[in-house]
């Protein structure tokens, strides 16, 4: 902006850009959290045909935080990455509509376990050289909570998991983590891996103009084999079954009756 100093106009930036970083954000395609998950009659897997799919909510929070970092002029590029089939382009386009600069689809028809996913992200790190990797602390479909930690180990870089508050300064990230005893504040040097907690932020609403603009943003497709990553699985799901239905509640008129009901069910 222009500022009047001693009767002369000088150009002054409203916020100096310092310690700019490239951020890579991992997005996973999952069944939308509002959808009731159903299991196929043969128990082989959950029903996905005709079911609404979305970005994993924790990954969406990670992307929102990356966008806020860039809006503070602390990042100059945000790349969103998804691993899977061509249908993942839908989630990548949503990430681009939110504000990411470009997208990369690592194409594979195999449903990968956390370790191959971490290896694929490590290969992309070597190619893109980002200073910050952000992803959700876990995916709501399998709740493994493993990929971020595995990636940090493979990359041999610091990690901050379950982050509910994040600030960058002087090549370091200060993270507030949610732990069993309460809150923990740690500082890690960049490059680093950050996994987001639910309380980190609330993702923005994507408007139609941004969705239209996202169609023109670059989306690159690369095969898993090109990254030199093996998709072999170590575990086999034998069958799935829904949890037992909850029994109906019982109304009681006194504490003594409540204790008696709990004792009859073997709970006390």
User: Average of pLDDT values for 110-119?
Assistant: 92
Examine residue 2 and state whether it is found in any structural domain, yes or no: no
Tell me how far the alpha carbon of residue 58 is from its chain's centroid: 4
Tell me how far the alpha carbon of residue 123 is from its chain's centroid: 18
Copy the structure tokens of residue 177: 């983590």
Lowest mean pLDDT among 124-133, 140-149, 164-173, 248-257: 248-257
Examine residue 63 and state whether it is found in any structural domain, yes or no: yes
- Alpha helix stretches (DSSP H) within the chain: 57-71, 89-98, 114-128, 147-155, 208-214, 255-264
pLDDT of residue 76: 93
Residue range of the domain that includes 142? 17-264
Lowest mean pLDDT among 116-120, 172-176, 178-182, 218-222: 178-182
CATH number at residue 152: 3.40.50.620
Percent of the chain with pLDDT over 70: 93
Q: Above 60 in pLDDT, residue 185?
A: yes
Examine residue 5 and state whether it is found in any structural domain, yes or no: no
Most distant CA atoms of the chain, gap in Å: 87
User: Average of pLDDT values for 103-126?
Assistant: 94
Examine residue 9 and state whether it is found in any structural domain, yes or no: no
pLDDT of residue 39: 87
User: Average of pLDDT values for 96-102?
Assistant: 95
Sequence-distant (6+) residues with CB within 8 A of 13 are 1
pLDDT of residue 12: 46
Average pLDDT, the chain: 88
Examine residue 8 and state whether it is found in any structural domain, yes or no: no
Separation of alpha carbons 81 and 59, rounded Å: 11
Q: How many domains does the chain have?
A: 1
pLDDT of residue 182: 87
Q: How do residues 34-76 score in pLDDT, each as one tens digit?
A: 888 888 888 888 888 888 999 999 999 999 999 999 999 999 9
Partnered with residue 165 across adjacent β-strands are 176
pLDDT of residue 262: 87
Examine residue 235 and state whether it is found in any structural domain, yes or no: yes
Tell me how far the alpha carbon of residue 214 is from its chain's centroid: 20
pLDDT of residue 234: 83
Examine residue 12 and state whether it is found in any structural domain, yes or no: no
Examine residue 227 and state whether it is found in any structural domain, yes or no: yes
């Amino acid at each position: 902006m222009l500022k009047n100093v001693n009767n002369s106009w000088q150009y002054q930036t409203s916020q100096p850009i310092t310690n700019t970083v490239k951020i890579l954000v991992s997005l996973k395609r999952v069944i939308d959290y509002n959808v009731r998950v159903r299991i196929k009659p043969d128990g082989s897997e959950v029903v996905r045909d005709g079911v609404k799919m979305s970005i994993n909510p924790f990954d969406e929070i990670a992307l929102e935080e990356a966008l806020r970092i860039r809006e503070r002029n602390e990042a100059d590029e945000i790349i969103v990455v998804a691993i899977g089939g061509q249908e993942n382009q839908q989630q990548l386009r949503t990430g681009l509509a939110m504000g990411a600069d470009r997208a990369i689809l690592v194409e594979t028809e195999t449903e990968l376990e956390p370790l191959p996913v971490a290896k694929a992200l490590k290969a992309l790190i070597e190619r893109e050289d980002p200073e910050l990797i952000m992803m959700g602390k876990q995916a709501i479909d399998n709740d493994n909570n493993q990929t971020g930690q595995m990636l940090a180990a493979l990359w041999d870089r610091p990690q901050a998991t379950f982050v509910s508050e994040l600030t960058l300064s002087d090549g370091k990230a200060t993270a507030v983590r949610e732990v069993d005893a309460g809150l923990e504040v740690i500082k890690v040097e960049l490059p680093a891996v950050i996994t987001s907690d639910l309380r980190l932020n609330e993702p923005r609403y994507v408007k139609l103009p941004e969705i239209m603009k996202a169609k023109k943003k670059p989306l690159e497709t690369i095969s898993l084999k090109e990254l030199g990553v093996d998709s072999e699985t170590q575990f086999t799901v034998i069958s799935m079954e829904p949890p037992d239905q909850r029994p109906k509640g019982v109304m009681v008129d006194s504490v003594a009756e409540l204790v008696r009901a709990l004792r009859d069910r073997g709970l006390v």
